[in-house]
Amino acid sequence: MVETFTPAGCGGRTRHILAVLMFGVGAIAAAAALGGVLGLGGSLLPSRVLLAAVAAACVLGALRELGALHLPLPMVRRQVPEAWRRERPLAVWSTGYGAILGAGFGTYQPAATFWVVCAAAVALGRPAAAAVCLAAFGLGRVLMVAFPGDPLRRLAGAHRALRPANALALLVLAALLVPGAASAAQPVGRSDPSALGGVVAFTERSGGTSRVVVRVAGLTAATFPDARMPAVSGDALAYVDALGIRVVLWRTGQEILRIGGRVDTPALSGPRIAYVETVGPRTRLVVRNFSTGTVRVAKTVGPGVDLGRPALSGQLLAWHEAAGSHNRILLRTLSGGRTRVMAEGRRSGLTVNPALVHGYIAWVESRAERSSLFVQRLPNGRIRRVAGALGPTSHLWNTAIDESHVYVTRWNLVTNTAVILRARRP
Amino acid sequence: MRRDRPLDRAGEDLAHRLASSTTRRSFIGVIGAALLGLTADRASSAGRAPIPGTERVAGGWFGFCGHYWTTGSCKGPYKLPRVDRQGKPLRPADGRPVDDAGRLVNDLGQPVDEAGSRLLGANGVPLPPGTRTRLCQDGVRRRYKLDDAVLQGSWYRCCDGQIRKLWDCCSASRTRINGDASLRGYCYGNRRVFCVVYVDTGVPC
């Protein structure tokens, strides 16, 4: 069929170009749609099992390519409907052919690789990413008809070399996937955003380890290994490592403060750092001025109460307290000591994880399986919902807000994968 | 003291009635019975353990972190109803899979020891796999004859540094595991909360 995509077969150069273009649209769209569906299905399944299945598919595929295993592949054992080219308009048959070939299983499938890719799309668990990956398959289909001459015949002639190479590639992929399958239960992805003045920092997790990444447009990202939970303010970066909290100048890595002990979740603003410290059974929220050395305990709570990740902006300190049937977000003016309740949840609602920037506060509220990101202009502006997620798959957690955007971590609770969402600040 | 006040007359009447209806022996008997009843009640209350998942714990929760209502835990091999994403039991302390008898099991469901080696019987032969059923969909249906028990709605809390999913086991029964009236909770359709389980997702919070 492919040989009909020629000026002679299409009836002129222009029609040939149109046919190839429409074939391309059909092929890429069908492949992307297939990838989206597979990725969506995979997002509902446990990643560890899926990765193991992909590794097994790679091995089976490699054995098949080497001729060591006779494994029939699911396919429609026929060509595309040749009659379409005579009976239908060019736009219909060329797009239709593209869709059939782009979907992969509509005609003969000589190699197992397509099915391995489909399994990988399921394991990816992300519809958009899987759609992009499968779209590349569709693009490959387009290149077969777009290249002059007869690329398929040339490829067929090289199959003696191609099949072993294909088998080797599948085996290498299987070897890479095995550690992933073993550690897939570990959280992966990007989370815990912090942002200010065009600088964005976050935790990046993979393979059981984490690092802090600091990004600024136009600069190479700065990374800090074995670290997590960053807070950025100007040139200063605070993060949590094995020894406690470390504050550095992120451009040079020079350390300016070290806080030891059972400390976590720092927040930075100017010369002040706020963090949560566990002392025996109690947890306290501490604010330290590393210019003057003063240390103040803003709040102490008992066992079982979650203080979460505080937020600092100038003289404002925000944090959440969550325990039992009560939870709330509090905002305190450090100079005056006055505290107000910004948001409150009772049994079924949870308000947590505030973020602050001059004049604005953001937080996450969840009710049952639904979580939402809210932003409010201080002191008493209208509360606006800017993002949402629905369980049991997705859940919003840590937040950040800067001069123009608001950020939130969205966790996939099936695959334990995190991404950071960004929305324009209302 | 004037004798014609109402309180005085009432007291006098009571005294007359007691004197005419109660002997010393019967009076002591009444006091004894009251004391016995009081101590028996206290003894029986102390002996009756609260339903798992209903006792108050640190942080204002019921039974375990994240559980803010009074419905009891679904019955399983451990007091804490920790499960995996399919609803099958896990050892609460470390999340290792266990069977219905509470034994650690491997990926094939075979009982193993702490190191992962097969448990042996008295004759030295590895023990065969036991059953490992879902606390809600299988256990509640089997124990309480509630054929429609399913895991439905859930909510999330930060517990021990990771996000915990708390999950309602729901059925059409109007009685919950506590023995009293069931609540709507996060169940939907015509179902109500019968008992509760939880999943530790491992997502840091």
Q: Is residue B181 in some structural domain?
A: yes
Give mean pLDDT, residues B8-27: 53
- Condensed to tens digits (0 to 9), the pLDDT of residues B121-178 reads 999 999 999 999 999 999 999 999 999 999 999 999 999 899 999 999 999 999 999 9
Q: Where are the beta strands (DSSP E) in A33-174?
A: none
Residue A45: pLDDT above 80? no
Question: In a mutagenesis test of the A interface, which of B55, B86, B150, B157 is the best target, namely the one with the most A β-carbons within 10 Å?
Answer: B157
Domain ranges of chain A: 2-183, 188-424
Nearest to A324 among B61, B85, B202 (CB): B61
Q: Is residue B112 in some structural domain?
A: no
Rounded distance between C-alpha atoms, residue A278 and residue A298, angstroms: 14
- Give residue A83's pLDDT band: very low, low, confident or very high (50, 70, 90): confident
Q: B93 and B172: one domain?
A: yes
Give mean pLDDT, residues A343-357: 90
Chain B residues in contact with A418 (beta carbon < 8 A)? 203
- Give residue A23's pLDDT band: very low, low, confident or very high (50, 70, 90): confident
Range of the domain at B158: 50-97+132-205
Residue B25: pLDDT above 60? no
Q: For position B165, what pLDDT does the model report?
A: 95
Contact B203 A187 (CB under 8 A): yes
Q: Is residue B109 in some structural domain?
A: no
Domain boundary among B14, B30, B47: B47
Q: B175 and B149: one domain?
A: yes
Q: B54 and B17: one domain?
A: no
Q: For position A168, what pLDDT does the model report?
A: 79
Q: B162 and B175: one domain?
A: yes
Q: CA-based angle B22:B26:B27, to the nearest 5? A: 75
Q: For position B48, what pLDDT does the model report?
A: 66
CB contact at 8 A, A242 and A227: no
Contact B85 A414 (CB under 8 A): yes
Rounded distance between C-alpha atoms, residue B165 and residue A43, angstroms: 17
Q: B61 and B90: one domain?
A: yes
Question: Within 10 A of A45 (CB to CB), how many other CB atoms are there?
Answer: 16
Rounded distance between C-alpha atoms, residue A126 and residue A128, angstroms: 6
- Give residue A39's pLDDT band: very low, low, confident or very high (50, 70, 90): confident
Question: Within 10 A of A180 (CB to CB), how many other CB atoms are there?
Answer: 19
Total structural domains within chain B: 2
- Give residue A282's pLDDT band: very low, low, confident or very high (50, 70, 90): very high
Q: B145 and B196: one domain?
A: yes
**Superfamily name and number for A188-424:** Prolyl oligopeptidase, N-terminal domain (2.130.10.120)
Q: Read out DSSP for B78-93?
A: SSS-BB-TTS-BB-TT
- As to burial, measured by CB atoms within 10 angstroms (0-12 exposed, 13-18 middle, 19+ buried), residue A221 is exposed
pTM score: 0.68
CB contact at 8 A, A196 and A230: no
- Give residue B2's pLDDT band: very low, low, confident or very high (50, 70, 90): very low
B163 beta partners? B158
Q: B180 and B143: one domain?
A: yes
Q: B205 and B167: one domain?
A: yes
- Condensed to tens digits (0 to 9), the pLDDT of residues A97-141 reads 888 888 887 666 677 777 778 887 777 666 676 788 888 888 888
Minimal C-alpha gap between B58 and chain A (Å): 5
Q: Is residue B29 in some structural domain?
A: yes
Q: B75 and B36: one domain?
A: no
Q: B22 and B91: one domain?
A: no
Chain A residues in contact with B158 (beta carbon < 8 A)? 306, 308, 322, 352
Q: B90 and B136: one domain?
A: yes
Q: Which of A411, A287, A197 lies closest to B156, judged by CA?
A: A411
Residue A287: pLDDT above 50? yes
Rounded distance between C-alpha atoms, residue A53 and residue A60, angstroms: 10
Q: B158 and B191: one domain?
A: yes
Q: Is residue B141 in some structural domain?
A: yes
- Condensed to tens digits (0 to 9), the pLDDT of residues A224-233 reads 999 999 999 9
Q: Is residue B162 in some structural domain?
A: yes
